[in-house]
Structures are given as structure tokens and as C-alpha cells.
A = this chain, B = another copy of it.
């Protein structure tokens, strides 16, 4: 069934059919929420044993540190080593913080705003550059864009492709404009596409020439071990690539256990080059006497190491893979395969999202219609800087939190709405 090749009469009949399906769902008065990438209750249960008293009893870490008391501004050494293994660096190059990697990104941008990227006098505070800009691969993560928007950066969208952002475009932008201070990236199982940056893309990011010596890549490796199938995708480490390219301080990698243990009570970390770690610690040591080391101790004792994490992530995959499969099944039943004329969608191997594209100009109308039927998706536009998708076509689906039956219903309603809105456009064209 290709809506685009149907006659006017066939379209009218199809519209009537989809309208009828819509009304049947509407009558059910569903309240379905597919807006945010949250683990479901079954996933949260997997980490309950981490909360047992025995995990922290006595409060002393294996290295002899009293985790209950003050100190260890860079985090518990065991937690730094643990997060370092996840992020692909030595523990010495890790700062392990509290429960939010977003918070560590925000604080790092604020530090660069107020002090510049190092102690060196030529690294001026970013605040002083009124034309400061930040590169935002699109579609991307709304909370990244919001940080740099709030801090007064001009956000420059660059198209994201299945193997990473358009590198020709990025190289051109950073080569000529010293006000381009950095870029956001989710390099593996990207939010919202699930794309994995290629090693070639990573090498180009590491070695490209930047007009701004203080250009920094904010590398949010949020989904580094969040695979859906056999094991996590292998990927070149950006810091290694930057060191090899002679730019050892260019990259700052962020990660957390938010979607490994608990989104609200995980541990977060950043990894960076020697100089940047030293510089950030000189700032953080004025900000706090240290992170919550008891929670770090709990995590290290529960997850142990990367192998322990991967084993734990298999349990997550067992719960959420069927949810991703359910979306795919409904999509295939409704549309066959992804296509640019009706609905395109990604088929991620990991992460928390599926990214769909309607025909240009139909995303907002489609979601408004879903909303009428009791199904909420992430607001159209939220994948783009300033919450404005100029193509009005990108839609992010977050299938992890609702139960399987709810997901099937929500996605079916979504498909119905995609069809209705598209057919109405096609019919209006006939009228016109």
C-alpha cells in the first residue's frame, strides 16, 4: 500500500478506514506517555540488591577510605577506576561525581564560561566572547541544546547521518570561526537516532583544524554499554584519537550509571586529558568537599567492573528489546519498511530511542492528533536547537517505560495519525 500512488478515491476510502480506527482508540480514553527515555519499573528492580545494607556496612572502602566522611574531591579511587574502564581511560583521568552526568556537563560549560578552558591567560572566559557558538548535530538531545542556549551560545545545527555528523560541514565551520567553542555529541546509540559514530568520523573530529584553540568536544557517552542485542558496539576512544592527533585536551567524555542502575540515584563521571582534569579539579575543589562516596561504593561493589556491567545490561536488554521489537513489528505491519515518502524510522542496536521522520511539515500535526487520542510523544521540534525543527519532520519515540501492550497501542495510534495527516495533505493537494 503506497499512499503516494493512490487515486483520490482510494485515498478517501483509506482516510475513512484510518479515521474509524482512530475513533475506536479515542473512545478507549487511553492515557499513554512515550515522552521520556526512562527505564521501566522492571528495570529498576534489577538494581534493588545494590541498596542492601551489606553493600556499604561500616562505610570503609577497600582502599581504606571512610566513605561516610568528607574528602576525595575527584571521587572514590575505586569508582574512578570503575568509571574509567567504562569510558575507556585510566582512573586518574576520571572525576567521579554525584548522580547526574548532565550536571557535570553543565558545570563544565559554566567553568569554561567563567574561567576559560585552562589556567593559561590566553584561554579567555567564554563569557567574554559575545559571538560564542556551539555545534549541535541534529536530530539530537534537547537537554544538551538547552544548556548552551541558556548560556547564550548561538546553536549551529549540523546534519547527523548514520555514521556520525556531516564532517565536511563541521570541518568547514570550525576552521574559520574562532567563536565556535565546542560541540555536543552522543557517539553511540545516539539520542534519538540510535546511530553509532564511525571510527573514521571520530578520527576526523580528533584531528580537524579549529580556529579556536579552546574548542572542546562534549562527548556524552550515555549509552556506551546500552546494547539491545549481543554486546556493546566497539568504538574508537575519542580521547585516544585526540592524543594521537596532538590535541590531548580537546575531548571531554561524560557518562553515568543512570540507565544501568537508577536514573535518580546513579553515579556520574567525566573523563578528560591530564591538564583538563587538573584544571577542573582546581575549580571543583572550591565547589565541594567531595561527592557522595557511599553511593559510589555501593555501585562499585554491586557492578564490580565492565564485565559485571555488561552482564547486568543483558538483563536490561531482555526487558527492553521486546519493547523495541514491538515498535518495529507495528511499523512493519503498518508501513512495510522505512521509507521517505510515508514514514522513515531508525532500527537501533542500543540506546533508548527510535527516531522517525514524517514527510516534511507533518510532524507537529501528527503529534497533535496523537495527543487528541491520549498518546503523548516528545514535543515536535525538541530534537533541534531552540526546539524548532525547520523540516517539521523528526519525531522521537521512547519505548522503554510503558508496558508492552501500552507501547503496541501507542505506536499503532501513532501510525494511524501519520496516515491520516499524510492522506489529508494528499487530498488537499487534489483539491488545490
Interface residues of chain A, those whose CB is within 8 Å of chain B, are: 36, 38-39, 41, 44, 47-48, 51-53, 56-57, 59, 66-72, 98-100, 102-103, 106-107, 110, 113-114, 125, 127, 143, 146-147, 150-151, 258, 262-265, 283, 286-295
Q: Is the CB of B292 within 8 A of A292?
A: yes
Question: 10 nearest interchain CB pairs?
Answer: A265-B294, A106-B287, A68-B262, A103-B288, A70-B263, A100-B288, A99-B292, A98-B98, A44-B68, A265-B292
By CB atoms of chain B within 10 A, which of A69, A71, A150 has the most? A69
Q: Are B44's CB and A264's CB within 8 A?
A: no
A102 CA to B291 CA in the complex, in Å?
11
Does B106 contact A114, Cβ atoms closer than 8 Å? no
In this complex, which of A59, A68, A127, A264 has the most chain B Cβ atoms within 10 angstroms of its Cβ?
A: A264
A56 and B51 in contact (CB under 8 A), knowing A98-B99, A288-B100? yes
Given contacts A51-B56, A98-B99, contact A289 B263 (CB under 8 A): yes
Chain B residues, Cβ within 8 Å of A70: 36, 38, 258, 263-264
Tell me the minimal C-beta distance from A326 to chain B in angstroms.
21
Contact sample, A vs B, 12 pairs, CB 8 Å cutoff: A38-B70, A44-B66, A51-B56, A51-B57, A70-B258, A98-B98, A100-B288, A100-B290, A103-B288, A114-B151, A146-B286, A264-B293
Closest B residue, CB atoms, query A98: B98
Across the interface, do B106 and A67 meet the contact criterion of CB distance under 8 Å?
no
Docked Cα-Cα span, A106 to B110, in Å, equals: 11
Q: Are A68 and B264 in contact (CB under 8 A)?
A: yes
List 15 other contacts, CB 8 Å, given A38-B70, A44-B59: A44-B69, A51-B53, A51-B57, A59-B262, A68-B263, A70-B263, A70-B264, A72-B264, A98-B291, A98-B292, A103-B288, A107-B287, A114-B127, A143-B286, A143-B289
A255 to nearest B CB, angstroms? 15
Q: How many angstroms from the CA of A59 to the CA of B42 in the assembled complex?
A: 13
Which residues from chain B contact A98 at a C-beta distance below 8 Å? Answer: 98-99, 291-292
CB pair B44–A262 under 8 Å, yes or no, is no
What residue in chain B is nearest A151 (Cβ atoms)?
B114
Whether the pair A69, B114 counts as a contact (CB closer than 8 A) is: no
Also in contact, A263 and B69, with CB within 8 A (given A99-B98, A288-B103): yes
Chain B residues contacting A53 (CB-CB under 8 Å) are 51-53
Please name all residues of chain B whose beta carbon is closer than 8 Å to the beta carbon of A262 when the two chains form the complex. 59, 68-69, 294
In the bound assembly, the distance between CA atoms of A143 and B44 in angstroms comes to: 38
**Inter-chain contact A289/B100, CB cutoff 8 Å:** yes
Inter-chain contacts of A113 with B (CB < 8 A): 114
CB distance from A123 to the nearest CB of B (A): 15
Q: A286 to B68, alpha carbons, bound, how many Å?
A: 29
In the complex the two chains form, what is the Cα distance from A44 to B57 in whole Å? 12
Cα A72 to Cα B265 with chains together (Å)? 12
Residues of B within 8 A of A100 (CB): 288-290
Nearest to A106 among chain B residues (CB) is: B287
Nearest B-chain residue to A127, judged by Cβ: B127
- Chain B nearest Cβ from A23, distance in angstroms: 33
Q: How far is the CA of A59 from the CA of B45 in the complex (A)?
A: 9
Q: How far is the CB of A379 from chain B (nearest CB, A)?
A: 15
**A293: nearest chain-B partner, CB-CB:** B264
Point out the residues of chain B lying under 8 angstroms from A66, CB to CB. 41, 44, 264
Q: Which B residues touch A290, using CB under 8 A?
A: 100, 264
Residue in chain B with minimal CB distance to A266: B292
Which of A287, A289, A294: most chain B Cβ within 10 A?
A287
* Neighbouring B residues of A295 by C-beta, 8 Å: 265, 292, 295
Please, which residues of chain B bring their CB within 8 A of the CB of A67? 264-265
